[in-house]
């Protein structure tokens, strides 16, 4: 599959950008299936949306991210999706580097940095741990939400509305039928955005500015 796939059915498209980050795509079952499902689902000409899939590990096997291309893709999108397997309670390394390099001060956040303000961010994650493992009594010792704070605050800093994530727990135990059902939920959610019932209940994203002294003046790209 090519690294960038644009699926553009007729009609006024809602623009969705899916950033997929899987460091071992050849051995992926869940995220690979989701990727294929989106490709098939939105190839049909009835959906009134444009879905751009950017497979970061295919685009940047050398980790040399094209910041301008990434920012252009972001600027064009209405809904931004970060899809990845959870690794060490966080995102894969290239996804983190993508944040470091693409979400620059003065563009994505901070003084004058409003390029993403008003867009939506949606996490689509898979975990090896089961839902029971993400409980105070489980081996991960916390509810899953506790691991989402850095994502949520990253969104807030950039003026992105943080949508309730879609999480598949127990990725290695899921059977094919349940995986296919999950993939269809994912596709239906994309197809129906922004008409999600829970969006009406979400608070507006508060304005979030970063004081100048909180970052190095010379480079100025860190929060
Ligand atoms: C290096 C590494 C770190 C991982 N860390 C976690 C973790 O912190 N929590 C968790 O539940 N699963 C963890 N996993 C399991 C992955 O989340 C799981 O293998 C993945 O979601 C399965 O999706 P896939 O079939 O697309 O690879 C980790 C896997 C790897 C390889």
Which one, of 138, 137, 204, 209, lies nearest residue 170 by Cα? Answer: 138
Q: Is 89 in the pocket of ligand 1 (CB under 6 A)?
A: yes
Query: For ligand 1, is residue 28 a contact (CB within 6 Å)?
Result: yes
Considering the domain boundaries, does residue 148 fall inside one? yes
Domain-located, residue 74: yes
H/E/C letters for each residue in 172-206?
CCCCHHHHHHHHHHHHHHHHHCCCCHHHHHCCCCC
Task: Please check whether residue 219 lies inside any domain of the structure.
Answer: no
What confidence tens digit (pLDDT) does each residue in 142-169 have? Answer: 999 999 999 999 999 999 999 999 999 9
Give domain status of residue 18, yes or no: yes
Question: With a 6 A CB cut-off, is 127 part of the ligand 1 pocket?
Answer: yes
- As for how many domains the chain has, the answer is 1
Report yes or no on 176 lying in a domain: yes
- Amino acid 221: pLDDT: 54
Nearest CA to ligand 1 atom 12: 128
- 37 in Cβ contact with 184 (< 8 Å): yes
Between CA 155 and CA 209 the distance in angstroms is 12
Give the residues across from 54 on adjacent strands: 4, 19
Q: What is the pTM of this model?
A: 0.92
Which of 72-86, 100-114, 115-129, 190-204 has the weakest average pLDDT? 190-204
Q: Is the omega angle on the peptide bond into residue 194 within 30 degrees of 0, that is, cis?
A: yes
Establish if 223 belongs to a structural domain: no
CATH assignment of the domain containing 187: 3.40.50.360
Domain boundaries, position 171? 4-214
**Average pLDDT in the chain:** 91
Give domain status of residue 221, yes or no. Answer: no
Q: Whose CA is nearest to atom 27 of ligand 1?
A: 28
Is 92 part of a structural domain of the chain? yes
pLDDT of residue 204: 78
The gap between the terminal CA atoms of the chain, to the nearest Å, is: 35
- Asked if residue 135 has pLDDT above 70, the reply is yes
- pLDDT class for 9, splitting at 50, 70, 90? very low
């Amino acid at each position: 599959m090519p690294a960038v796939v644009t699926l553009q059915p007729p009609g006024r498209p809602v623009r969705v950008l899916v950033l997929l980050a899987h460091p071992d795509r050849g051995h992926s079952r869940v995220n690979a299936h989701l990727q294929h499902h989106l490709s098939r689902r939105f190839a049909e000409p009835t959906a009134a949306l444009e879905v751009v899939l950017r497979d970061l590990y295919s685009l940047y096997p050398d980790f040399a991210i094209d910041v301008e291309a990434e920012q252009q893709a972001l600027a064009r999108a209405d809904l931004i999706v970060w899809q990845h397997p959870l690794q060490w309670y966080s995102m894969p390394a290239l996804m983190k580097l993508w944040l470091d390099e693409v979400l620059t001060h003065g563009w994505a956040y901070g003084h004058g940095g409003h390029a993403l303000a008003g867009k939506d961010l949606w996490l689509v994650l898979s975990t090896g741990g089961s839902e029971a493992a993400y409980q105070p009594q489980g081996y991960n010792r916390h509810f899953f939400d506790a691991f989402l704070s850095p994502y949520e605050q990253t969104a807030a800093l950039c003026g992105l509305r943080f949508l309730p994530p879609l999480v598949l727990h127990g990725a290695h135990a899921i059977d094919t039928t349940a995986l296919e059902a999950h993939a269809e939920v994912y596709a239906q959610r994309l197809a129906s955005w922004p008409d999600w019932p829970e969006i009406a209940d979400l608070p507006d994203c508060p304005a979030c500015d970063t004081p100048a002294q909180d970052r190095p003046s010379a480079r100025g790209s860190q929060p």
